[in-house]
A and B are shown apart, each in its own frame.
Chain A
Amino acid sequence: MSDNELALMIAGMAVINLIIRWPVYLFADHVRFPPLIERALAFVPVTVLTAIIVPMIVMPGGGAPEINWRNPYLVAAIIAAAISWRWHKLMPTILIGMAVFFLMRWFVG
């Protein structure tokens, strides 16, 4: 791809991101969502974030699901989820989750 095409690609991606993110705020004065939609939107964080990470956890190779204790992504994710569930603290969840993950990769994987 030529430099010009590359610049066009980047500009296009930037514009597309704006087209997705901006209109709702831009027209905020005129847009009010019905109560049912507002209640639906409350489910956005848990659904979108979960849909991003679960495939990464159960199929880290991108192929078939690896549901067994030798999958460091799965084991560390379960431990991190338990810590987060019990204490609701973000930093310990991240640090312990990462520690378990890398220990497993060294010793098991």
Chain B
Amino acid sequence: MDTTPTTGQSAGSEALRGLIATLPMMISAFPFGLIFGALATSSGLSPLAVMSMSVFVFSGSAQFIAVILLGTGSALGVIWLATLILNLRHLLYAATLVDHVRHLNHVWRFGLAAWLTDETFAVMERRYRVEGGSPNAHWYYLASCLGMYINWAIWTYVGIYIGTRFEDIGNWGLEFAMVVTFIGIVMPALRSSPYWLAAITAGLVAVLANDLPYKLGLMLGAVCGIVLGLGLQEWQRRAKTVEAE
């Protein structure tokens, strides 16, 4: 008989906690939605097209790149390739979280995959690391997804109608909100020297490779960081084992 106390919270309380944990990300995403709505509209896209991107594509960075590439008259294939390369990081996110969604049915898995973003990944990675899973943890995840999704749609809409009155809104530096949010996620996660090495390598390589097209420098930086961080960690583990013997 299993006597371990079930730390199971109700679906509702998991959802509420997921939403609360995502609130800072929603706040920092709002300037982005606003700028996107404004930028896309002022580049000549119809409000319907702009809203469709936020509702169906739901990927801030890819949407920005698409608008910029449209402005330079790029072909469809180029825009799709940029989307693919830019969002490959989501493959890593899904691989990181997959252990916690494996038991769910396919409808759940589809939704939790389709709505996975940088922000929800950061929230869920932390939740599973700190608290582990629980029978209703997927409600926490879903609430985070929906919070980000609805937030993104609303601020895109506001951006379409308000942002266009401030033509230089793209130069206000509002995107710094995302920078500080990610800093607030990364710093507490630097829990040992391999993580420091990984982060420093990733940042350095991303800067050096910034001129590569389609933000390839991002993936290159991440991969170099992972390899060096993992290498140091494995080396430390091995050194420890040798010491113990």
Report which A residues bind B (CB closer than 8 A): 1, 3, 5-14, 16-18, 20-22, 24-26, 28-29, 31, 33, 36-37, 39-60, 65, 72-73, 76-77, 80-81, 84-85, 88-91, 93-94, 97-98, 101-102, 105
Contacts and interface: CB of A to CB of B under 8 A. Distances in A.
Nearest to A62: B210
Interface stretch (B5-13, B152-160, B162-170, B187-195): B187-195
Interface in B48-94: 49, 52-53, 56-59, 62-63, 66, 70, 76, 79-80, 83-84, 87-94
Which secondary structure dominates chain B's binding surface? Answer: helix
Contacts of B205: 51
B136 interface: no
B185 A49 contact: yes
Given A10-B56, A13-B80, A44-B92, A93 B62 contact: no
B52 A10 contact: yes
Interface of B: 24, 27-28, 45-46, 49, 52-53, 56-59, 62-63, 66, 70, 76, 79-80, 83-84, 87-96, 98, 101-102, 106, 109-110, 112-114, 116, 118, 121-122, 125, 173, 175-190, 194-195, 198-199, 201-207, 210, 217-219, 221-223, 225-226, 229-230, 233-234
A46 B201 CA distance: 10
B182 A53 contact: yes
B101 A25 contact: yes
A51 B229 contact: no
Contacts, number: 260
B38 to A, nearest CB: 18
Nearest to B190: A46
A17 B87 contact: yes
Task: From A54, A57, A91, name the one whose CB has the most chain B CB atoms within 10 angstroms.
Answer: A54
Give 4 closest A-B pairs by Cβ, nearest first: A54-B203, A97-B180, A47-B225, A51-B221
B186 A49 contact: yes
